[in-house]
Amino acid sequence: MADPKSREETLQECQRRTVYHGAANFAIGLLAGIPYTLVVFRDHATEWAPSVQESIEKSGLMALARKSTGTERAWKMAHLEGLLNGMSMLLVASIMPVLRSLSAKELRELTVTMMLTGYGNSVAAALCAQMSVRGLASGGSVANRVANAGFTVAVVTIVRALFLIMKGTR
């Protein structure tokens, strides 16, 4: 049997993984900002000055905006879910060294729970926006049930992550 990694090696590995997946979640949020912007163009362009409307029309963005699905509210949520979950993961990675009461196994569990929370929220919110579902209840379409499962996993895993963080500071 190979020697297990030291706690310090595990800590560094967990920090790297959490930073990587935090950045990936942040990227999901940034990408969700593209359809969010298109939906804003679609829904509000008539409220803007004619010169702005003409500029958007000439750029070809309005043609894309007219094809966009979902609501402004749903895409704003998807955009912010990715950004906020990504930042939360980066924050947790930055505090890992002070969580001295956590074992190597618990540090790995914290990393996994943060990944499940981040992707659960970010992907579910983007799915909801794209498919025009809410994901608040477990019934309905397949898309709604998948989104609900993502949000449910995120709720359960963030509670576990917070418990681990509080335990780690004792």
What are the pLDDT tens digits along the chain (170 aa)?
A: 445 689 999 999 999 999 999 999 999 999 999 999 999 999 998 999 999 889 988 999 889 999 999 999 999 999 999 999 999 999 999 999 999 999 999 999 999 999 999 999 999 999 999 999 999 988 999 999 999 999 999 999 999 999 999 999 99
User: Which tokens go with 151?
Assistant: 């949000």
**Is there a contact between 120 and 54 (Cβ–Cβ < 8 Å)?**
no
- Residue 2 pLDDT: 46
Question: Could you tell me which residues come within 8 angstroms of residue 113 by beta carbon, excluding any fewer than 6 positions away?
Answer: 157, 158, 160, 161, 164
User: Which tokens go with 47?
Assistant: 């409220």
Q: Helices 72-95 and 104-131 meet at what angle, rounded to 10?
A: 170
Alpha carbons 65 and 87: distance in angstroms, whole number = 28
User: Which tokens go with 163?
Assistant: 């418990």
Task: Name the 3-class secondary structure at 77.
Answer: helix
